[in-house]
Amino acid sequence: MTGRTSPIASAVPGRIRVRHPLLRRTDRFQEALGRLEALDAIRVSGSNPAVGSVLLSYDPAAVTPDDARSQVEALLSAVLHPAAASPVPDDPVSAAEVKPAAPERKWRINRAAKIGMMGSMAATLAALGVGKRVHAGFGTLFVAFMLVHMTVQRKRLFQ
């Protein structure tokens, strides 16, 4: 799957989390779920069509993590990118649905904000012995990172 974002959001031995914006479409989600359930050594442990996510589990003694990842990526490639498997000129999928850049950008911004919050909180605590102004400066930096994090997560905050 070169040149495309992998549908695998995370993978540890025994578990694979699949997440992709196109899996929010009912037809694609059902097709992907049917194909994933047909795999022999890998089973579907949970799914959430609202966010386009599927949790898979497998026995790492029976299937190596690399083999499990490659099986899942190959299977989902045909579901998520059917134009690559069989070229159809009138594919109804719009360019906005294929391009998952906005969620990935939000994820990166949120990750940077969380790392900034952890670093600035550590610096705030370390600055307690240095002086009030340094402590207040790092505290202000922490609040700024927290506001970025809350802005990115605003929909989840008030659910």
List pLDDT tens digits, range 112-152.
999 999 999 999 999 988 899 999 999 999 999 999 999 98
Q: What is the mean pLDDT of residues 25-36?
A: 88
CATH class as words, domain 8-94: alpha beta
Distance between CA atoms of 76 and 109, rounded to whole angstroms? 27
User: 3-class SS at 90?
Assistant: coil
User: 3-class SS at 11?
Assistant: strand
Residue 84: the pLDDT is 52
C-alpha distances out from residue 63 to 12, 34, 35, 54, 145, Å: 12, 20, 18, 19, 41
Distance between CA atoms of 73 and 122, rounded to whole angstroms? 39
Give domain limits for the chain. 8-94, 102-157
